[in-house]
Amino acid sequence: MTFADRTVLVTGGAGFIGTNVATRVLRDGGRVVVLDDLSRAGVRENLRHLTALPSQGRLRTEIADVRDRSILRRALHGVDTVVHLAAQVAVTTSVDEPRHDFEVNLGGTFALLDEIRGMDVAPSVLYTSTNKVYGEMGDLTAHRRGDRWEPTDAYVAEHGISESRPLSFCSPYGCSKGGADQYVIDAAKTYRIPTVVFRMSCIYGPHQRGNEDQGWVAHFLLQAMAGKPITIFGDGAQVRDALFIDDLVEAMDLALTNIDRLSGRVFNMGGGPENTTSLLELLAMIGELEREEPVVSFDAWRIGDQRSYVSDVRAFAAATGWTPNVDLRTGVARLHRWLDEHAAAASRPDAG
Task: Kindly report the number of other CB atoms within 10 A of residue 226's CB atom.
Answer: 10
What counts of helices (H) and strands (E) characterise the chain? 15, 15
Q: In 3-state terms, the chain is what percent helix, strand and coil (to 5)? A: 45, 20, 35
For 337, residues 6+ apart whose C-beta sits below 8 A from its C-beta are: none
C-alpha closest to that of 236 among 196, 281, 170, 180: 281
CA–CA distance from 326 to each of 66, 87, 268, 335 (Å)?
32, 26, 18, 12
Q: How many Å apart are CA 348 and CA 338, to the nearest integer?
A: 16
161 conformational bin, left if phi > 0, alpha if psi -120 to 50, beta if neither: beta
Question: If we measure between CA atoms, which residue out of 50, 113, 107 comes closest to residue 76?
Answer: 113
Catalytic-labelled residue, pool 127, 173, 204, 309: 173
Gap between the Cα atoms of 270 and 311, Å rounded: 6
Confirm whether 173 is a catalytic residue.
yes
Would you name the residues annotated as active-site residues?
173
